[in-house]
Amino acid sequence: MSALPSHARVVIIGGGAVGASALYHLAKAGWTDCVLLEKNELTAGSTWHAAGNVPTFSSSWSIMNMQRYSASLYRELGALVDYPMNYHVTGSIRLGHSKERLQEFKRVVGMGRYQGMDLDILSPDEMRGKYPFLETHDLTGALYDPYDGDIDPAQLTQALAKGARDMGAKIFRFCPATGARREGEEWVISTPEGEIRCEKVVNAAGYYAREVGKWFGREVPMMVMSHQYILFEEIPELAAWSKEAGHKLPLLRDVDSSYYLRQEKTGMNLGPYERNCKAHWVTPDDPMPDDFSFQLFPDDLDRLEWYLNDAVERVPILGTAGLSRMINGPIPYAPDGNPLIGPMPGVPNAFEACVFTFGICQAGGAGKVLAEWVTEGETEWDMWSCDPRRYTRFAADKDYCIAKGMEIYGHEYAMHFPKHAWPAGRDRKLSPIHDRIKALGGQFKPYNGWERAMWYAEPGDDLSEEATQTWNREGPWRPRIEEECRAVTEAAGILDLPGFSRFRVKGEGATAWLSSLITGKVPKPGRIGLAYFADDKGRIVTEMSVMMLDEDFFFLITAATAQWHDFEWLAKHRPKDAAFTIDDVTDNFSCQILSGPNSRAILAEVSDADLSKGWLTHQPAQIAGRWCQLVRVSFAGELGWEIHTKIEDTAAIFDALWAAGQKHGLKPFGMEALDSLRIEKGYRAWKGDLSTDYTVLQGGLDRFVDWTKPDFKGKAALEREKQQGVTKRFVLLTVEAGECDAPYMSTLWHGGKVVGETTSGNWGYRVGKSIALGMLRTDLAVPGTEIEVEIYGDRFKATVQPDGPLFDPNNERLRA
């Protein structure tokens, strides 16, 4: 082995499938001066014992993108790098036991089709045609994925490593990184072979990522589960069938029973995600060893018994097979089960590509995404679902990670219904009036750890988890959401909104700097406005409200979940010698929304404010003797104010408003009602309607672009796009929907072709219609055009609406 160089452009810590893919993709991007450090042999972590399944299925658009990319890379990788490997594309059958499961499959078929993949729904007869050993009497249908298959994880890693080496990148095996420190603009990584300096560093240490993260002052939100599969000996019927057919059986996933079953040579491989699962290295009597390379946990057959019995009933030939081997290895989990790929929060020039639960099927795509983050600072696809900054400090708490990891693992194949709230790891951050909201019937979900009421139940409402197991609009929540919307429209509603992210920017030059970053005008002191931040390609990075207090002094307010993401965007673009400061003051403040025609009368009773001040103004005021900033805006689209307060004054202010509001018909309303109200106004939501998948012009945000400014970030790209013509446009659609409103990424159809996609959908109670926001081919984005929306497999007529709100198009109620 050659000597460790003293310098490299990038150092990757960890040589599993993901680290190797990151190195390969960096080299492919021309960054060949990169070094990978592996403490043992390549694949020594989770990779060596992985089953190697390579599905493309995901109900997440970005993860499907990543997996689709992996599968297509793996098809050609052997030839590309001259390293033949075992990759079998067998197809897979995902069994559906319920109507809801089939709806999920149909949605994924639609998404897959949009990504160029020909997924299909199978009837029980068709399943048996592809899988003759299958019991189908209790099944409603199945999803067939012809691209699914399995790969040898070690060969995959070696192939990626060879490809990277051939391009000039270097790999040092048996060379652990032992620490990291920052010196000037460089990272210095220590190893027993000496130190190596680099511009950028990547934590790809798999289930050791938390340990590696600590050197950077970063607590990686993760935990480790034990994951098993059983290998069976030859099954004569299977061997005979396979010989005659000339191929293997498709991989079977019984997702409702929670396992996969794969043909392995002439035997089988059964891998469950047990509900009675087990975490490892989470208690003092089970410490994580310094080195677990190429080791396994002891077999735990008891945990698998239920799954074995279930699989034998499903595929009876399995009952005759002898057990040949068990594998029980460590698999890392982040609290939502998605990996961490992207900038390491708060740490300059450091990145994460770790905590993969499906790191074999995702390695290819993850390497591409990671390399884009490192070389370009941005990614082709919006990758928020895997962005490490989606978690903030609260999520590093070990108990939280364990509770969520266990929950996700035990429900790895679960459907994620829109009205369901996963119960583990809750109540991390509570509003000072949480108990009052709860007593009023609040049904909560967390936003960046903050519990917010989604809707308010009445006594007798069905609050069981079972009631939420539906994609339908209808449910116990529906009459309540409708009542809440009516209260906001006819009287007044109050919504406690803790955790709004808030940054204070103050000091000379702050206004000019902000102007250079946002596409539009900076509001004048005393006013508030929406601001859009674009990247150099003109794509939507984020949206924030700018509350201008004074020249060079303002608050930027943004989504709860955007806290770290948006703060980093600002910090990254702040000139080093700037005279102004940016502080994250999220935890000091809170917000309550008071909205509806009676909100002025309510405020008049409790505050000294000038309530004649118009829309988009703000003013300091007193309520119940406490300071607040009254902001005349309403995401609900009614007369209303956001009442920003010190967090400790939340209760006093709520109590005063609540008492005064009773005779004015004040009701509490939740996030569900707010979402319905905002969609009628065509207001966009972050990371659904607003993402880096779209440019500011595609997003229909032209009125927030000030072309007269000499320059702003993204201007050149947006000017080019304007000249060339925008290919797709944001539209508001009314949909003649059935029982379900359009979920994110439902495809739009016209003339038998897919012509766009939805970015969000909901029922509008004020207009009595199903509404979808989406992106449509520009030539069709004309009011009155009739198209179709595919919702869970069925197509429904939809009509493009005029550009502007569907409800109160002239904003008269807002300005009242």
Ligand X SMILES: Cc1cc2nc3c(=O)[nH]c(=O)nc-3n(C[C@H](O)[C@H](O)[C@H](O)COP(=O)(O)OP(=O)(O)OC[C@H]3O[C@@H](n4cnc5c(N)ncnc54)[C@H](O)[C@@H]3O)c2cc1C
Mask for 182-221, x = binds ligand X (CB under 6 A) = ----------------------xxxxx---x---------
Minimum distance from residue 272 beta carbon to ligand X (Å):
11
Applying CB under 6 A, which of residues 159, 201, 331, 494 lies at the interface with ligand X? Answer: 331
d(CA 64, CA 70): 10
Site for ligand X contains 327 (CB under 6 A): yes
Instruction: Report the residue number, 176 or 538, with the smaller CB distance to ligand X.
Output: 176
Instruction: Report the residue number, 44 or 374, with the smaller CB distance to ligand X.
Output: 44
Minimum distance from residue 236 beta carbon to ligand X (Å):
26
d(CA 76, CA 82): 10
Applying CB under 6 A, which of residues 35, 51, 494, 674 lies at the interface with ligand X? Answer: 51
Site for ligand X contains 49 (CB under 6 A): yes
Instruction: Report the residue number, 367 or 523, with the smaller CB distance to ligand X.
Output: 367
Instruction: Report the residue number, 172 or 686, with the smaller CB distance to ligand X.
Output: 172
- Which pair of structure tokens corresponds to residue 67? 């997996």
Q: What count of other Cβ atoms lies within 10 Å of the Cβ of residue 622?
A: 14
Site for ligand X contains 14 (CB under 6 A): yes
Site for ligand X contains 176 (CB under 6 A): yes
Site for ligand X contains 329 (CB under 6 A): yes
Question: Which parts of 345-364 interact with ligand X (CB under 6 A)?
Answer: 354, 356-361
Question: Which parts of 277-296 interact with ligand X (CB under 6 A)?
Answer: 293
- Using a 10 angstrom Cβ sphere, with 0-12 exposed, 13-18 middle and 19 or more buried, the burial of residue 234 is middle
| Beta partners for residue 530, in sequence order | 545
Applying CB under 6 A, which of residues 105, 229, 307, 635 lies at the interface with ligand X? Answer: 229
Q: What share of the chain is helix, strand, coil (3-state, %, to 5)?
A: 30, 30, 40
- Which pair of structure tokens corresponds to residue 381? 């696809």
418-421 — which CB contacts under 8 Å span 24+ positions? 418/471, 418/743, 419/454, 419/468, 419/470, 419/475, 419/477, 419/672, 420/465, 420/468, 420/469, 421/445, 421/446, 421/454, 421/468
Site for ligand X contains 13 (CB under 6 A): yes
Q: Label the pairing between strands 170-172 and 34-37.
A: parallel
From 528, 532, 477, 449, select the one nearest 713 (Cα to Cα).
Answer: 532
d(CA 667, CA 416): 29
Instruction: Report the residue number, 117 or 225, with the smaller CB distance to ligand X.
Output: 225
d(CA 655, CA 658): 5
Kindly give, in sequence order, each residue whose CB lies less than 8 Å from that of residue 484, ignoring residues fewer than 6 positions away: 455, 456, 493, 667, 668, 669, 670, 672, 673
DSSP state of 664: G
Applying CB under 6 A, which of residues 106, 165, 210, 227 lies at the interface with ligand X? Answer: 227
Contact segment (CB under 6 A) with ligand X among 140-148, 322-330, 424-432, 594-602 equals: 322-330
Counts of helices then strands in the chain (DSSP H, E): 19, 38
**What residue type is 209 in one-letter code?**
A
Instruction: Report the residue number, 291 or 551, with the smaller CB distance to ligand X.
Output: 291
Applying CB under 6 A, which of residues 10, 50, 201, 491 lies at the interface with ligand X? Answer: 50
Minimum distance from residue 204 beta carbon to ligand X (Å):
6
Applying CB under 6 A, which of residues 4, 11, 18, 771 lies at the interface with ligand X? Answer: 18
Evaluate whether 29 touches 375 at the Cβ level (below 8 Å): yes
Minimum distance from residue 176 beta carbon to ligand X (Å):
4
Minimum distance from residue 662 beta carbon to ligand X (Å):
55
Instruction: Report the residue number, 359 or 493, with the smaller CB distance to ligand X.
Output: 359
- Which pair of structure tokens corresponds to residue 110? 């639609």
Q: How many residues bind ligand X (CB under 6 A)?
A: 42
Applying CB under 6 A, which of residues 25, 39, 200, 280 lies at the interface with ligand X? Answer: 39
Evaluate whether 799 touches 786 at the Cβ level (below 8 Å): yes
Instruction: Report the residue number, 14 or 774, with the smaller CB distance to ligand X.
Output: 14
Instruction: Report the residue number, 49 or 389, with the smaller CB distance to ligand X.
Output: 49
Site for ligand X contains 729 (CB under 6 A): no
What's the start-to-end Cα distance of the chain, in Å?
A: 75
Instruction: Report the residue number, 65 or 676, with the smaller CB distance to ligand X.
Output: 65
Site for ligand X contains 45 (CB under 6 A): yes
Instruction: Report the residue number, 43 or 519, with the smaller CB distance to ligand X.
Output: 43
Contact segment (CB under 6 A) with ligand X among 50-58, 235-243, 378-386, 618-626 equals: 50-58
Applying CB under 6 A, which of residues 4, 8, 35, 44 lies at the interface with ligand X? Answer: 44
DSSP state of 83: -
Q: At 774, give phi and psi (nearest 5°).
A: -170, -175
Which residues are at the interface with ligand X (CB under 6 A)? 13-19, 37-40, 44-47, 49-53, 176-177, 204-208, 212, 227, 229, 293, 327, 329-331, 354, 356-361
